[in-house]
Amino acid sequence: MNLPLSPAVTAPAAGSPDAEALIHNLADSLSLAEQVQLLTGADVWSTHTLPSIGLSRIVLSDGPAGVRGEDFDERHDSVSLPSSSALSASWSAELAHRYGQVLGQEARRKGVHAVLGPTINLHRSPLGGRHFECMSEDPRLTATMAAGYVAGVQSMGVGATPKHYLANESETDRFTVDSVVAERPLRELYLAAFEDAITESRAWLVMSSYNSINGTTASENDLLETPLSTEWGFDGVVVSDWTGVRSVEAANAHQDLEMPGPVGHWSAKLLAAVESGQVSREAIVEKVVRILRLAARVGSLDGVSPAVAELPAALDSAAVAREVAIRGAVLIRNSAGLLPLDASALTSVALSGHNADEARTQGGGSATVMPKQNISPLMGLREALPATTSLSYTRGAKVAEGLQQFARTALHNPVSNVPGARVTFLDASGTEIFAEDRLASSLIWFGVGIPEGTAAITISTDWTAEQAGVHHLGLGTVGQARLSFNGTEVFNGELLDTTNVLGAALFDPPSTVHQIETTAGETVRIEAHYTLPPEQFIPLTAILLGEEAVVTDPQAEIDDAVAAASSADVAIVVVGTNSSIESEGFDRSNLDLPGHQNELVRAVAAANPRTIVVVNSGSPVLMPWLEDVGAVLLGWFGGQEFGRAIADILLGVAEPGGRLPTSWPAALADVPVLSTTPVEGKLEYAEGIHVGYRAWLQQQAAGGPAPAVPFGFGLGYTSFEFSAPHAPQQVQAGNDVIVHVPVRNTGSRAGREVVQVYLERPDSTVERPVRWLAGFAGTHLAPAGTESVEVRIPARAFEHYDGGWQVERGAFRILVGKHVEDDFQVLAIDVR
C-alpha cells in the first residue's frame, strides 16, 4: 500500500494558519465521546478513524532500524538497516538524514504514517539491553544524529518518534523502575540528547517511556510539559510506549495518545473522568488537536494537504544500508597495515566464527524487522573474493543459544508443494477457517493476522537435513502445544513463559527440543499444533520451529578452525553476541563474548599472525585478545548488507569510516557506571553529569583504569594531519564559536576524518566533566588533499544548568583532536 501524495485541490497545507483553524474547529465540533475515543488506539498499531470529519487511520510502526509495518510477516519484507550504534559511529548527520529517508520511504511503501524511532536514550551503562538501539554515550553526538534521522524521516512526509522520553537507559524492571536523576544531568545529558530532534527537526511525535522519572511515571510526568511543550515548542503527539498509560491521571499531563488499543486505561474510564471533572475538557480538546495536526501532516485528514507535498527522489535502500554499515564500522587495530587485504594476492582465506555464517544483523525485540535476505560475512566474502582465492569456513565456537529458526531454503510446504510451511487456523471444533503458505519457521502475530474465531494453529513443513547425524529439533512458544516428527508425537504439553516481559517471549520463547537422527539430505515432516489461550490481554502469539546447535566437544570445533587458519594466507574470525544477550526486555549481566569465542580467537591468532577479528555486536564486548591479533574491526549489527560491507572493508573496496560513539572497556570491573539494577525500585543516576567518557576521564584522573578503546577513536586506511587550528580568542556569552582546523590527507588513499572539538574549563567554580564534546565535523579528502574544516561550537556547549542555562564567564580551553584522549591541539577562549 502506498500513501497518497497531496491531493491536487487547494486545501490549506498542514501547519498553515488556515489548516490550524480548521483543525481547532474540527476538534471543537466533536462530541466528548468522539474526542475521547480518538485518544486511545483502535488496535495495536493504528488510531481510530472518524469518517464524519474525513479522518482516516494513522498507522505507527517500529522502528528504529527498519519499518516492520502492521504485521510480523516475512512475506511483507522490510529493509533492515544497521543498528543505531552503527549509524552514530559514522558521526555524520548527513548519513543519518539519508538513513531516515530510507525509513520514510519504507514507511510509505508499507502504509505507515509514523516510525517509532529514533531511540535516543543514552549509553549510560554498557549492560543496557537496548544499547544497540541507542546512539551514543554523549548527548551532543546523539542529538546531532537523532536530529538528522528525524529530519530525514519527515522529509518523506512520515512522522518520526524520538523515544523513550525519558531516562530509560536500561531494561531491568522497565515497566516500574524509577530513574532518580538530578536536574543538572537531566538537562545536560538526557534531555539534551532529545533537544535538537524537537527544536531543530521538529519531530511530529515523541514516545513517553515506561519508567518513572523522579517518582512519577513518564506518561504522567511534568517533563512532558516542561521543557518539551513549553521551552522546546513541541506541537506534536506524545504517544505512550505500548501499555505505558497507567491511569486517567496521564490525561492531565501532556500525554496525548494511548497505545495500543482498543482497550486501555483511558476510553470509558477517561470519559467518566472528564464527566466528573477529574480531567478537564480543555485537556482533551488539546490532545485531539494534536492528533488531528499529526493526521494532517501525514495525509490522514481530508481537507488539509500533507506537510510534504513533493517527495525527494527515491533512494536505493540496500545501497544506503551497505553504506551505513561501512561508514559505521570502527577499525580499532590494524597492526603492520594488515588491512586492507589485497584480494589479487590472496590464495586462501580461513573464515571462522558462528556469526560469520549466522550473522546477527539486528538486535532483538520490537526493533526486529524481516528483510528478504541477510548477507552474512561468509556470503559477502564468497561474493567478493576472486575465484582464484579459496575460502574455507569452520564454525569454531557456537554462539547462538537455543532454537534457531530453520534456513528458509531447507523448508518445503507439503500441502502447496512450494518452499516454506503450511499454516492453518482451526476453530474450536477443529475445522479449518483459513490456511496460508509461509516462507519462514518463526511466526509472530501481534494483533494482526489471526482470523476471528481461531482456537488453534497448525504448522506443517518438510525439513531437509543438510548434514547427516543427530539433530536437535524443536518448537518454541508459550502455551499448550503438540509437536510431531514424521507422524510420531514427541511433545504434548504446556510451555510456560518465565520472563513475564512483554515481547521477550516473542523473540526468545521457551522451547521443547527432541533428537532425531538423519542422513544428509533426508527429509523430516515436522508438524506443530498450538492451542490459543482463551483470553489474551495483548494479542501476541509466537511459534518457532527450528534447530538447536548442540556441541559436545568445543575443543574439536576450535581445532578445526585452527587447522584451517594455520595453512591459510589470512584468518578471519567473526565473533559476536546472540539474541539471549542483546535484546529488549532485559539487561546484560556481563560483557563477555558468549561460549568459547575468546579461546577460538586466541587459538587462531596463535596459528596465524595474520588474524583479523570482526566483532558482530550491537554494544561493547570485552576483547581480552585485543593486543594479540593483527586487526580488529567493530561491525555492530550491520543490517541486511552486513556481509557485503565487511567484505568491502576487508578487501579495501571501501574504508571503514567509524569512530567509537561509546567507550569500550577492557574489563567489567573497570566500567565506571555499570549497574542497571534498581534498589527498592529506584535506579539512582548517582554519577550525575559524569557518564560515558566523562566518567572514565574522572576515574582516570583519580588514578583509575582507562577504557580499552576511547570514545571517538577509529582508524581508516589513510592518515591525516591537523595543522594549527584557529578560533576567536574571545566570545560573548550566548554566541556560537567557529573553529577552523586545516586538515591534510597525508596517506596514499582517499579517506574520511572526523575532526572532534572538546571543551575544558580549568579551575571552574562549578562541577564539570574533565572535558566534553562540543562539536565535530567530517571531511573526505583525496591523497594530499587539504581542507580547512569548520567546526561549530554551539553557545550551549559553554553553558551549565543551574535552575536555568548559565554561563560561567572566563577562560575555556578548546581541544582539537581525533578522539577524546588524543594528543590535542589546544586553544584558549575567553567567554565574556
163 binds ligand BGC (CB under 6 A): yes
Among 72, 242, 776, 798, binds ligand BGC (CB under 6 A): 242
CB of 264 to ligand BGC, least distance (A): 14
Q: Please say which residue, 165 or 234, places its beta carbon nearer to ligand BGC.
A: 165
Q: Long-range contacts of range 310-318, CB-CB < 8 Å, 24 or more positions apart?
A: 310/5, 311/5, 311/108, 311/156, 311/157, 312/101, 312/155, 312/156, 314/105, 315/98, 315/101, 315/102, 315/105, 317/79, 317/102, 317/105, 317/106, 318/79, 318/640, 318/641
CB of 164 to ligand BGC, least distance (A): 6
Please, are residues 422 and 459 in contact by the beta-carbon 8 Å criterion? Answer: yes
All 3 cell numbers of residue 547?
534447530
Among 104, 396, 503, 714, binds ligand BGC (CB under 6 A): 503
Question: What's the distance, CA 677 to chain centroid?
Answer: 22
Alpha helices in 517-669 (DSSP H): 554-566, 597-607, 642-650
Q: Please say which residue, 69 or 503, places its beta carbon nearer to ligand BGC.
A: 503
Active site includes 73? no
Q: How many CA atoms lie within 13 A of 1 on its CB side?
A: 9
Q: Please say which residue, 116 or 568, places its beta carbon nearer to ligand BGC.
A: 116
Q: Please say which residue, 114 or 385, places its beta carbon nearer to ligand BGC.
A: 114
What is the DSSP annotation of 717-786?
SS-EEE---B--SEE-TT--EEEEEEEEE-SSS-EEEEEEEEEE-TT-SS---S-EEEEEEEEEE-TT-E
Name the 3-class secondary structure at 577. Answer: coil
- Closest residue to ligand BGC, judged by C-beta, is 366
Q: Please say which residue, 118 or 353, places its beta carbon nearer to ligand BGC.
A: 118
CB of 201 to ligand BGC, least distance (A): 19
CB of 539 to ligand BGC, least distance (A): 13
Angstrom distance (rounded) from CA 759 to CA 212 = 32
Q: Please say which residue, 121 or 663, places its beta carbon nearer to ligand BGC.
A: 121
Binding map of ligand BGC across residues 84-123, x = CB under 6 A, - = no contact:
--------------------------------x-------
Residues between 304 and 343 with contacts to ligand BGC, criterion CB under 6 A = none
Q: Please say which residue, 177 or 689, places its beta carbon nearer to ligand BGC.
A: 177
- What sign for the dihedral angle of Cα 508, 512, 515, 516? negative
Contacts of 526 (CB under 8 A, 6+ apart): 459, 460, 461, 462, 463, 473, 483, 484, 485, 545
Q: Please say which residue, 503 or 594, places its beta carbon nearer to ligand BGC.
A: 503
Among 20, 241, 258, 527, binds ligand BGC (CB under 6 A): 241
CA distances to 57, 349, 509, 646 from 310, in Å: 21, 49, 44, 36
Please, are residues 737 and 715 in contact by the beta-carbon 8 Å criterion? Answer: no
Contacts of 484 (CB under 8 A, 6+ apart): 490, 526, 527, 528
508 binds ligand BGC (CB under 6 A): no
CB of 105 to ligand BGC, least distance (A): 20
- Cis ω for the linkage preceding 63 (within 30 of 0): yes
Q: How many CA atoms lie within 13 A of 171 on its CB side?
A: 25
Binding map of ligand BGC across residues 352-371, x = CB under 6 A, - = no contact:
--------------x-----
Residues between 250 and 309 with contacts to ligand BGC, criterion CB under 6 A = none
Please, are residues 115 and 69 in contact by the beta-carbon 8 Å criterion? Answer: no
597 binds ligand BGC (CB under 6 A): no
62 binds ligand BGC (CB under 6 A): yes
CB of 677 to ligand BGC, least distance (A): 19
CB of 242 to ligand BGC, least distance (A): 4
String of b and e for 368-407 (b: at least 16 CB within 10 Å)?
Answer: bbbbeebbbbbbbbeebbeeebebbbbbbbbbbebbbbbe
Q: How far apart are the first and last CA of the chain?
A: 57
Q: Which residue among 196, 241, 256, 508 is the active-site one?
A: 241
All 3 cell numbers of residue 514?
527432541
Angstrom distance (rounded) from CA 291 to CA 237 = 6
CB of 155 to ligand BGC, least distance (A): 22
* Size of interface with ligand BGC, in residues (CB under 6 A): 9
Q: Please say which residue, 130 or 354, places its beta carbon nearer to ligand BGC.
A: 130
All 3 cell numbers of residue 689?
553529569
CB of 364 to ligand BGC, least distance (A): 12
Which residues does the annotation mark as catalytic? 241
Give the interface with ligand BGC as residue ranges (CB under 6 A). Answer: 62-63, 116, 163, 241-242, 366, 502-503
